[in-house]
Chain A
Amino acid sequence: MLFFSYFKELVGKEVTVELKNDLAIRGILHSVDQYLNIKLENIRVVDQDKYPHMLSVRNCFIRGSVVRYVQLPPDGVDIDILHDATRREARGP
């Protein structure tokens, strides 16, 4: 549940979600669930010429299983905290 907890901390921040089909969408993280399904608001498609159909869409829901990467805002990441959290997660209960 590490990344679920981590992404919950990022709600309200701008992220870029890159899907496995190469589509990249930038938007404000509205919410995330335990399957890492992602709802974004005020989205913009990163490569708009390639994917013009989504120009006007304001909000979208992205299935967690099709996400390849989530690009985080540089000021949204505390590397030390994330480091500690992943180590604790790896050690188990």
Chain B
Amino acid sequence: MTALLQHPGYEDESLQRVAEQLPCREAQSAVLLSLMGQPQQYSYPSIFIYGHRASGKSHVMHVLLRELELPHATLSCVECVSGALLFERVLLSLFGHEAAALLPRSASLSDFVRVYRQQCSLSPAEQTRFIVTELLRDADANLLPALLRLQELVEDNVTVVLLSEIAWDKFRPNTGCFEPLLLHFPDYSKGELQQILSQDRHPSYSADFYSSYINILLGVFYSVCRDLRELRHLAALNFSKFCEPVAEGKVKETDTHKLWRNIEPHLKKAMQTVYLREVSSLQWEQMQQMEEKETGVVRGLSAHTHIELPYYSKFLLIAAYLASYNPARTDKRFFLKHHGKIKKTNFLKKNEKTSNHLLGPKPFPLDRLLAIFYSVVDNRVAPTASIFSQISSLVTLQLLAQVSHEDQLDAPKYKCAVSMDFICAISRTVNFDIVKYLYDFL
């Protein structure tokens, strides 16, 4: 494998270190190395690397640049909320504090180019400078074209490496731009995952033991999850359970079959809870310790869906649900005392044959909400300020969603944002049979 990573201009020793830290990414790192050329040579202005989450994009870049001791700046577009912040970071890591301080406040791209040129004339590049950045789709429109041809703009030996989980096509500005070199990092195969995961073995157990554990783990989880990070997390969580029989002296390290029998149900259980992060890793560990007693099972996050609400808030929510899922024409049928006998077929329009629940909630004005509210609540309610403030607190609790803009004070519109199950539970607590009032279930 070291044979792959031979390149003039770099010491064999550091290349060796790189190779050790980048298992299963030899091909990609070799391509990158050849693109980078020798340190003093000019490299291609911009390289775009894409691949799924946890496919080693930034890891490869970091290791390469760190171990080969090349001048570089690493940043992320998530963090750099403004272009100015990004420019400052670049200057800071390439030229130090003094250079970064030269940037004016809220620096524009031209400021950045000016300062950069000024600095690089002071300290001309002996080696290719690298700027590695994770790219976001909603970044500034002017930023990307400029980064792509930064080498040209600043007339310096600089290469911009862009990392992304999304393919280049989604980024390409419609005005056209300098095309970067595209490099794809494919997903790790099962064997590669096995190899990588086996590396972080527990110090007190042998490597074979750990890799047999990883083998079992992958057998269970590979079908649902190929994300290296998640798998690593799962491996760390369940390992203590796996080596429990060994630690107790019941089973030898080599007896994989028995170990498999012991761990398999646990992994199955972990798939339901830990993988979805229903239960945090800390709680999972505690659960495993408690398991012998089989007492109170820790419930996941989604198990807690019950919400206590004030009495009128419940009715407001019910009214909102009715207003969202019933057509406004049918209000007369449900809430008027002498509505006469209207059959469903009579006011069924053609396009309404589909269930309203499949279409999702519809917006309704405040007036309608209050009208329904006053007719469903069983005693007389004065239209007090606290009724209205309850509506807005339901909005902040994200049980209602305001559809119209917040500035619109006159006749605001809302949507109900709770599920059928939730509203049924709520209406059960106030003895209100909501199904009788829903048009879909007539």
Query: Does chain A bind chain B?
Result: no
Query: Which residues from chain B sit less than 8 Å from chain A, CB to CB?
Result: none
